Structure 1
């Protein structure tokens, strides 16, 4: 078992980090201050660098690299800002993977090359007003009539809603109750009957738009079915990889906060010496570093065990849960070490703290991950309705 990155992986990570710091730092600041998503010209720049769909099959425009390589790229870019890294997240860990694994060949060829070229961003639309953690309660329906699917319903908390070019929409494709009736359909932005609510004003995640989605007799070809009714288990298996992307976003935020704090405590002086000379500060730095390293190794394990397939729910849930809790702790400690500077919007740590809190809500709340972990430990699912 070798814990060292290969020379190629180290170079990939270094090049991505240099690119992000040199080219994306200024636009990241703009996205945060204006709360606007990454402009399409910059999405295409990410594509030019080869970072979109880097772990997708070359048949569909990807680079065919491993999930671990995608993690390395995502962490390096997201250290600058989750908003500038979000197209990478969606193309490497989000709904693009569900399309590659489960959709028909025609849909794969129609969508994935455009994603890899930076011409299309695809988001996943799962939650509803009454179906978040209890996802099998969703009510949005897709009625199959001949060679068409007619969708009606409402979605909520869709990251990318209104800005993304296409959506993998979880909905009921048969009258069966619970998970048995659920599948997923691809819907392009601009399809008649698809509208969006007002943009959400969130505590963090600035530059990552979110809004309600409304489906009023939205009609798409039957070829747009990604997973038919009864395929809920498949959808959640694909979502296990998205959890690893979520965990990597948490890791990047915490790692960048630690980097910033390390520079600060060596230059900031109090009582006649640098803060790093105080033992209390040394202990806090060590605790932060241990948590960051542990999260990184758990993510690496999950995606490496998955090879080029999909990770186990156990590995992905442990990685996400730990990283989500870790980044809140590390960013909180960073604020305390910086004092007033940590609480000031002129400095980056308060933004990192706000963003850190969100990833433990998005993509399956922390406590839901703990239920998943317990289920994996005893090899059975728990019925939360009883």
Structure 2
């Protein structure tokens, strides 16, 4: 069992690290201050360097590399900030993977190359006011009307809403209840009948748009059907890629916090010496390092085992759950070690702490991952309704 990266992977990682550290600091500050997403001219720069299509098929303009390679890039961006890393997350681990894997060839050929070139973002639209964790309770409906699909309903907590050009919308077809009725449709932002609510003001995740979506008789061509009723399992199988992306974004936050605080404790002096010389500080550093390394190994195992395919559900859940919790702990400890400097906006650690909490909510809450892990261990699903 070889835990080392290949020469090609190390080169890609180094390239992403240099670009992120040397170029993205001022952009991260602008995104944090304004809460505006990464501008499109920057998206084009990401694209020119290949960072938006690392694991996209070559026929769609990507590099055709395994998922792990894309996660290496994502972590380096996320070390700088969630806001500047979000386009990489959406393009490499987001719903465009569903479009590429399950969409009709004509749709995939229209959408995916635009994503790789930085001209389009695709967001996922799953949650509803009464269907978050209980996703199979969703009420947004889709019905076939000749050569069109008609969508009605409302969505909530859609990251990218109003900003992304395309949406993978989970719908209930033909009134069929439960998972058997759930499928997905690709909807363009400018579709008549699709409107967006006001942008949410979140605790963290500045630069990541989030808003309600309303579908009032939205009509799309039948060719934009991604998965019909009965395909819920295939959708969630692909969603495991997004869960590993979620875990990697959280890992980047934690790893960035560890790097920042390690530098700080060697420079900050109290009682006439650097605070790293105090044993209590050394222990905290070691604890943070152990959590970051363990988190990275869980992610890399799941991604390496997937190759260019899909991550195993259990491995994705283990990675996401552990990393989400570890990131909160690491950023909290780092902030405490920095004292007043950690609590001040100017130095960025409080941003890392705020961002750390979002990943354990998005993409399947921490406790739900634990329920899924337990279900896999005992070999049966737990009925939450009785």
Q: TM-score range by the shorter chain?
A: over 0.9
Query: Is the counterpart of residue 40 in structure 1 residue 51 in structure 2?
Result: no
CA distance in 2, matches of 1:326, 1:227: 35
- For 1:279, the equivalent position in structure 2 comes to 279
The 5-angstrom pairing of residues 189-204 of structure 1 reads 189-204=189-204
CA distance in 2, matches of 1:260, 1:178: 47
| TM-score, L = length of structure 2 | 0.99
1:236-295 deviations in Å (ceiling 9; x for gaps) = 001111000000000000000000000000010111111110000000000000000000
Q: Is the 8 A contact 1:162 1:211 kept in 2?
A: yes
- For 1:7, the equivalent position in structure 2 comes to 7
Q: Is the 8 A contact 2:200 2:209 kept in 1?
A: yes
1:29-84 deviations in Å (ceiling 9; x for gaps) = 00001111111111111110101121011111111001110010000111111111
The 5-angstrom pairing of residues 315-330 of structure 1 reads 315-330=315-330
CA distance in 1, matches of 2:281, 2:43: 40
Query: Is the counterpart of residue 346 in structure 1 residue 346 in structure 2?
Result: yes
Query: Is the counterpart of residue 63 in structure 1 residue 79 in structure 2?
Result: no
CA distance in 2, matches of 1:101, 1:377: 29
Tell me by how many angstroms 1:376 deviates: 1.1
Q: For structure 1, which segment, 198-207 or 53-62, has the greater mean C-alpha deviation from structure 2 after superposition? A: 53-62
Query: Is the counterpart of residue 184 in structure 1 residue 184 in structure 2?
Result: yes
1:104-145 deviations in Å (ceiling 9; x for gaps) = 111111111111111110000000000000000000001111
Tell me by how many angstroms 1:174 deviates: 2.5
CA distance in 2, matches of 1:173, 1:110: 25
SS of aligned partner of 2:139: coil
The 5-angstrom pairing of residues 117-266 of structure 1 reads 117-266=117-266
- For 1:314, the equivalent position in structure 2 comes to 314
Q: Is the 8 A contact 2:141 2:175 kept in 1?
A: no
CA distance in 1, matches of 2:308, 2:380: 26
SS of aligned partner of 2:171: strand
CA distance in 1, matches of 2:117, 2:380: 42
Unaligned runs of 5+ in 2: none
SS of aligned partner of 1:214: strand
CA distance in 1, matches of 2:308, 2:207: 30
Tell me by how many angstroms 1:372 deviates: 0.9
Tell me by how many angstroms 1:23 deviates: 1.6
SS of aligned partner of 1:83: helix
Unaligned runs of 5+ in 1: none
CA distance in 2, matches of 1:88, 1:181: 32
| TM-score, L = length of structure 1 | 0.99
Tell me by how many angstroms 1:22 deviates: 1.7
CA distance in 2, matches of 1:241, 1:132: 19
- For 2:375, the equivalent position in structure 1 comes to 375
After superposition, the CA RMSD in angstroms is 0.7
After superposing on structure 2, the runs of 4+ consecutive aligned residues of structure 1 that deviate more than 4 Å are: none
Tell me by how many angstroms 1:173 deviates: 1.8
- For 1:95, the equivalent position in structure 2 comes to 95
1:283-339 deviations in Å (ceiling 9; x for gaps) = 000000000000000000111111111111100000000000000000000011001
Q: Is the 8 A contact 1:66 1:307 kept in 2?
A: yes
